[in-house]
Amino acid sequence: MEAKSKPIADSSEWHWWLLVAFIAVLVAGAASITIWRNYHQLQNKVLHLRTPPDGVMQKYSDALRISTQFFDVQRSGRLENNHIEWRGDSGLQDGKEEHLDLSKGLYDAGDLIKFGFPMAFTATVLAWSILEYGQHMEEVKELKHAQESLKWITDYLINAHPSDNVLYIQVGDPDVDHKCWERPEATTEKRPAIQVNISHPGSDVAAETAAAMAASSLVFKNQDARYSKSLLDHAQKLFQFADSYRAVYSESIPGIQDYYNSSGYSDELLWAATWLYHATGDGYYISYVTVMHGDAFADWGNPTWFSWDNKLAGTQVLLSRLNFFGLGKEISMVENLNLQMYRRTAEALMCRVLLPPPKNQKTKGGLIWVTEWDTLQYSIATAFLAVVFSNYMFTSKTPYLYCNGKLYESMDLREVAISQADYVLGNNPMNMSYLVGFGRNYPQYVHHRGASIPINTNTSCEDGFKWLNSRKPNPNLAIGAVVGGPFLNDTYIDSRNNSRQAEPTTYNSAFFVGLMSGLVTSTHVVRSFT
């Protein structure tokens, strides 16, 4: 059979169509410019969006200066410019058996182990805080201090990655360490260094370390180009290792499980790729988080709490940055749609904290409350994301966030962040500041070996427990420590043996430094990372 096909149009008809189409485009263009103008006028004149007050907030400036000092308290290695009078050199032999210098880095909490997974995460969050709010830190003269604290970790991470597919992820044996109660300066126990490698891989810890190094490469880019480049090289190789040999590190090395047991690596892979995109601008990493692995890894639509174990919420906010401000490059439509899914999920988290929460997710005193163990981690991490997201909205002139039929503006989110910050700083039913060294009433019995043992005593491993069990308050101030925090009923038991409430962590401090930097002044226009 022969199909009779009619030509769509002859050439003279084409010309007419082109003219009509051209006129249509002109009209539509003019109309949309008018709509756009009206929209902006509307926004400026009618909406009266609230903005924060001008100037430096003294309270947050004081709290920022105090909270950065916890990174000094936690230092291992040969100390430089040490202002913590009860701290001295420690961990000088760390890594020696492996012919590496792993002496630097931070003890994670109240004990004397250097856990690579939370240490790298601390670095990533601190680097992010500097990238978003370095100018605020500079205004209160804390930027240099924050950068030095970050470098103390990244120096360690560089040495911990001696070849492409080997990463040291821990120094010290927690089982040995937990049988002792000692000052870091006095310990004599063996401190083995544990690695992940091809036969025992760990995508979570390798990718988190890649994220830390990629983010830090941006921080140091303008002041030390070689160091920055070296960090970025390490980050790319570690990401490759993490992605090629996929495994949960605490399954490869089950001995880890009692401490920083990881619930999976897909969040860290996305988080690392997101940081690598920010550091390199390489479109491969956008494809990685969208068309290649979005469906399998991103869990769009299900907001989660940001923590040392779960980086999805951080990834969503960090990718929203691209959605708010553009990438400066062409990406495919599907990639674009996937990026929007990240932003929608970030918005769902923001809505969760803006809307009245379910009963067991907020204390009567107003604290976002997730778990009995180190609960402040979640409250502060969420508040940090809220202030960052609020700044993205403000700078991009996004007037509203729509949550279950209600409209919220960027200031509403900032106020959520302020409420969490103020709770931590003493505006709570206990009138207790959970930032050690801030205010008049803060924990005196922080679960912290170094802070609990007088500097001029000679205790060895086991007899040191008398200092854990002592009735007296800590002799040394763990300044800047953010402890685990209150129970759901807003109470806090200030007891040294109460580690779920009284133990501080470096990542709590990293989140808190970020939160304080976000709130300390109102000049909060989002700037480029590079």
Ligand X SMILES: *[C@@H]1O[C@H](CO)[C@@H](O)[C@H](O)[C@H]1NC(C)=O
> Which positions lie near ligand X, rule CB under 6 A?
194-195, 197, 199-200, 250, 253, 257-258, 261, 263, 430-431, 456, 458, 469, 487, 489, 491, 497
Shortest separation between residue 86's beta carbon and ligand X, angstroms: 14
Residue 458, number of CB atoms within 10 A of its CB: 7
Q: Is 18 helix (H, G, I), strand (E, B) or coil?
A: helix
| Ramachandran quadrant class, 453 (left: phi over 0; alpha: psi -120 to 50; beta: rest) | beta
- The strand order across the sheet containing 167-171 reads 114-115, 167-171, 193-196
Q: Is 178 helix (H, G, I), strand (E, B) or coil?
A: coil
Nearer to ligand X, 90 or 147 (CB): 90
Nearer to ligand X, 137 or 425 (CB): 425
Nearer to ligand X, 121 or 445 (CB): 445
Shortest separation between residue 493's beta carbon and ligand X, angstroms: 8
Shortest separation between residue 499's beta carbon and ligand X, angstroms: 7
Q: Which strand (E) or helix (H) includes residue 121?
A: helix 116-139
Nearer to ligand X, 49 or 430 (CB): 430
Nearer to ligand X, 140 or 376 (CB): 376
Rounded Cα distance, 249 and 201, in Å: 6
447 is catalytic: yes
Nearer to ligand X, 41 or 497 (CB): 497
Nearer to ligand X, 282 or 463 (CB): 463
Specify the long-range contacts of residues 250-255, CB closer than 8 Å, at least 24 apart.
250/202, 252/196, 252/200, 252/201, 252/202, 253/194, 253/196, 253/200, 253/202, 255/194
Shortest separation between residue 201's beta carbon and ligand X, angstroms: 9
Residue 303 neighbours by CB under 8 Å, 6+ apart = 313, 316, 345, 346, 348, 349, 352
Shortest separation between residue 174's beta carbon and ligand X, angstroms: 12
Nearer to ligand X, 34 or 244 (CB): 244
Nearer to ligand X, 404 or 458 (CB): 458
Shortest separation between residue 302's beta carbon and ligand X, angstroms: 17
Q: Which strand (E) or helix (H) includes residue 30?
A: helix 11-41
Shortest separation between residue 399's beta carbon and ligand X, angstroms: 37
151 touches 91 (CB < 8 A)? no
Residue 506, number of CB atoms within 10 A of its CB: 29
Q: Which strand (E) or helix (H) includes residue 213?
A: helix 203-219
| Strands 114-115 vs 193-196: parallel, antiparallel or unpaired | unpaired
Task: Work out the angle between the directed axes of helices 410-424 and 375-395 (0-180°, nearest 10).
Answer: 150
Shortest separation between residue 37's beta carbon and ligand X, angstroms: 51
Q: Which pair of tokens denotes residue 2? A: 């022969």
Shortest separation between residue 490's beta carbon and ligand X, angstroms: 8
Residue 339 neighbours by CB under 8 Å, 6+ apart = 286, 290, 319, 322, 323, 331
Q: Of the residues 161, 447, 448, 524, which is catalytic?
A: 447
Q: Which pair of tokens denotes residue 377? A: 């981690």
DSSP state letters, 234-300: HHHHHHHHHHHS---HHHHSGGGHHHH--S-SHHHHHHHHHHHHHHH--HHHHHIIIIITHHHH--T
Shortest separation between residue 255's beta carbon and ligand X, angstroms: 9
SS3 content of the chain, % helix, strand, coil (to 5): 55, 5, 40
Residue 277 neighbours by CB under 8 Å, 6+ apart = 285, 286, 289, 322
Nearer to ligand X, 5 or 456 (CB): 456
CA angle (68, 411, 514) in 5-degree steps: 15
Rounded Cα distance, 267 and 286, in Å: 15
Q: Which residues are catalytic?
A: 447
